[in-house]
A and B are shown apart, each in its own frame.
Chain A
Amino acid sequence: MMRAVLLLLALLAAAPAAAGEAKPARIVSLNLCADELVLRLADPGRVASVTYLARDPRGSTVADLAAQVPVNRGLAEEVVPLAPDLVIAGAFTTRATTAMLRRLGFEVMELGVPTSLEEAYAQIRQVAARLGEAERGEAMVARIKAAMAALPPAPADHPTAVVLRPNGFTAGRGSVPDSVLARVGLDNLAARLSTDRMGQLALEEIVIAKPDLLVVNSAPDAPPSLADELLHHPALAPFAKAARTVPLPIRLWACAGPGLAEAARRLAAARERIAPGAPSPLVGAPAGLLQ
């Protein structure tokens, strides 16, 4: 192993120092969001490996593309033999692997978590530029923006919405889903909470807040877990009964990419369905108690 590493280091040292400028030919991704951008923007021949998560159609929007590419589980030992000329990792995942790859002299690009639609567009452009595919990146952003512009106009009375994810997590202020909800003309009740962008809500808070729309990030065929069981709690049944639940696969808006446009389209359709004056699911406390 040590000899292999030394050999590799020698190889890398021999590589031109200006590698950062060249169009990378052996790209490795260690993060699901990076997987989606790399697979959509670069030709498959240039992708050496993506994460195993990219092949799971429940969590990934590029499962079909990922099927043609080798996968990794985020371990340095898997990455080194591939001798990549660009590694893309998440800023908060596989930290030990990222640090080791840097020590070994690989070029590692870290992707942060965008906090708004604008930042998501910027991330698409940033990755596309590094891949040497700036035009494809620009085209992707233009397509998303065009789809957003084609949505029906937002009504003056902003209906309220809350996002519910497994384990009671929500999408708060400063998150891409919050930005998408605003773009669609929905008032995100969780943004009024003094939590960060991944805040957790008690079911009681959600029910009492009485959102006009309950956006549930669930997969209908998810394997059993307590985290997922929460999404099917009987206390949420009245929302479904009143057609105020919007099931939205989390993969659509977890990462920067074309899924954002699809998420916006589905949310706008749901908002149209609950036209002003539609009956509320329940009588009782007014909406907006959530402080």
Chain B
Amino acid sequence: MTGMRHHRLLISGLGLLVALLFAVSLLIGYAPLDFGAALSDLLAGRESLPALVLAELRLPRAVLGAAVGFSLGVTGAALQGLMRNPIADPGIVGVSGAAALGAVVAFYFGFSATFALALPLGGLIGAGVATVFLLMVARSGADTATLILAGVAINALAGALTALALNLAPSPYAALEVVFWLMGSLADRSLVHVALALPFMVLGWGLVLASARAMDALTLGEDAAQSLGFSMQRVRLLVVGGTAAAVGASVAVAGAIGFVGLVVPHLVRPLVGHRPGRLLLASGLAGAALTLGADIAVRLIPTRPELKLGVVTAIIGAPFFLAMLRRLKVEGP
């Protein structure tokens, strides 16, 4: 184990990558923008057109890209560690789908119009219910197959209920918007969305990252972790609460973007010496980088209207998922 220095280097490298992609995300758009003028107007507080585009359209998109990606990466790593299961990912095990259902009910039936926080809270409740249910399945000694099947069931149910809710919603546009909730997108999000979701996401990150040391102990099994002085009750509470807050708020403003939480921890794991505690922060940063990159890609691919973000992450993630299932089968569960 190369130790702390190596880890610090990795974290700074990933942080730099996120900062770079964040800047590229600000530079890329649908209309030519004098970026220098926009930035200086914005910093000087002048109400100019380029400053408006930068602050109200490109900034929220980049901030949400990084924050949503961090949420998916960090919770993917935490769920994999807690359930000691390489398949656990908010998308595959149904947490994102359930969050979408909660957000859809809050948004289309007017709750969030009267009480803005209802939108992230709806997502949070949906994600929380699904996470608690999954943890109960995982704790009863379920193997990988059972966990995937539970995820398939939650996803199917949440997807069907989301479609039902959208069909019952009073707006004639609602039924067409199921794609946004199932695939996710950052198009035309605003600072209002950032203000609604970011506090919950940051809270979620804090809770999940606080479980880092216990995660390392958990590799030895729950009993061993307990004997080392870690309260399992507390770890579960941290991860479930953190996942519900971070994924719930992410999905409420960006829809259910799949596969980020699955792919990222597996890519990063060899780089952190297979230590689940260190994996958390590194996965969050890598998730942010992947999501920002995918969101840059959807804007560069010349289709109108632009591709949903989940299309790109699924094209990257689904083959990865299949390859991993094959390896699991060869090696045995």
A59 to B53, CA, bound (A): 32
Query: Given A227-B173, A235-B53, A202 and B30 touching (CB < 8 A)?
Result: yes
Q: How many residues of B contact A (CB 8 A)?
A: 41
Q: Which of B2-10, B186-194, B240-248 interfaces with chain A? A: B186-194
The proximity string for B residues 166-195 relative to A, scoring 1 for CB distances below 8 Å and 0 otherwise, is: 000111111011001000000110111000
Within 8 A of A (CB), among B49-94: 49-53, 56-58
Q: A167-B173, A200-B304, A282-B48 are in contact. Are A207 and B57 (CB under 8 A)?
A: yes
In the assembled complex, the Cα of A123 lies from the Cα of B22 at a distance in Å of 52
Contact A204 B57 (CB under 8 A): yes
Q: Which residues from 183 to 205 on chain A have a C-beta closer than 8 Å to any C-beta of chain B? A: 200, 202-205
Question: Which residues of the partner chain A approach B34 to less than 8 Å between Cβ atoms?
Answer: 285
Q: Are B32 and A289 in contact, with the CB atoms below 8 A?
A: yes
* Most B Cβ at <10 Å: residue of A224, A228, A234, A238: A224
B50 near A235: Cβ-Cβ < 8 Å:
no
A14 at the interface (CB under 8 A from B): no
B301 contacts A by Cβ under 8 Å? no
Q: Would you give the shortest CB distance from A193 to chain B, in whole angstroms?
A: 11
A167-B173, A225-B173 known; A208-B48 Cβ under 8 A: no
Bound CA span A183–B155, Å: 53
In the assembly, what is the distance between CA of A227 and CA of B188, in Å?
11
Give the Cβ gap from A259 to chain B, nearest Cβ, in Å: 19
Q: Which residues of A contact B219 (CB under 8 A)?
A: none
Say whether B107 faces chain A, with CB atoms less than 8 Å apart.
yes
Minimum CB–CB distance from A37 to chain B (whole Å) comes to 21
A166 at the interface (CB under 8 A from B): yes
Question: Complex: how many Å from CA A205 to CA B48?
Answer: 15
Q: Please determine whether A235 and B57 come into contact, CB atoms closer than 8 angstroms.
A: yes
In the assembled complex, the Cα of A210 lies from the Cα of B53 at a distance in Å of 11
Measured as residues with beta carbon below 8 angstroms from the partner, the interface class of chain A is 20 to 34
- Cα–Cα, bound, A235→B38 (Å): 14
Are B177 and A225 in contact (CB-based, < 8 A)?
Answer: yes
What is the CA–CA distance of A210 and B52 in the complex, to the nearest angstrom?
11
**B31 interface residue, CB < 8 Å from A?**
yes
Chain B residues with CB below 8 A from A282, complex form? 47-49, 52
Chain A residues packing against B (C-beta within 8 Å): 59, 166-168, 200, 202-205, 207-210, 222-228, 230, 233-235, 238, 282-285, 289-290
Residues of B within 8 A of A (CB): 29-34, 37, 41, 46-53, 56-58, 107-110, 112-113, 169-174, 176-177, 180, 187-188, 190-192, 304-305
Sample (27) of A-B pairs whose CB atoms are under 8 Å apart: A200-B305, A202-B29, A202-B187, A202-B188, A204-B29, A204-B30, A207-B31, A208-B32, A224-B108, A224-B113, A225-B108, A225-B171, A225-B173, A226-B177, A227-B173, A227-B177, A234-B56, A234-B190, A235-B56, A235-B190, A238-B47, A282-B48, A283-B49, A284-B37, A284-B49, A284-B51, A285-B49
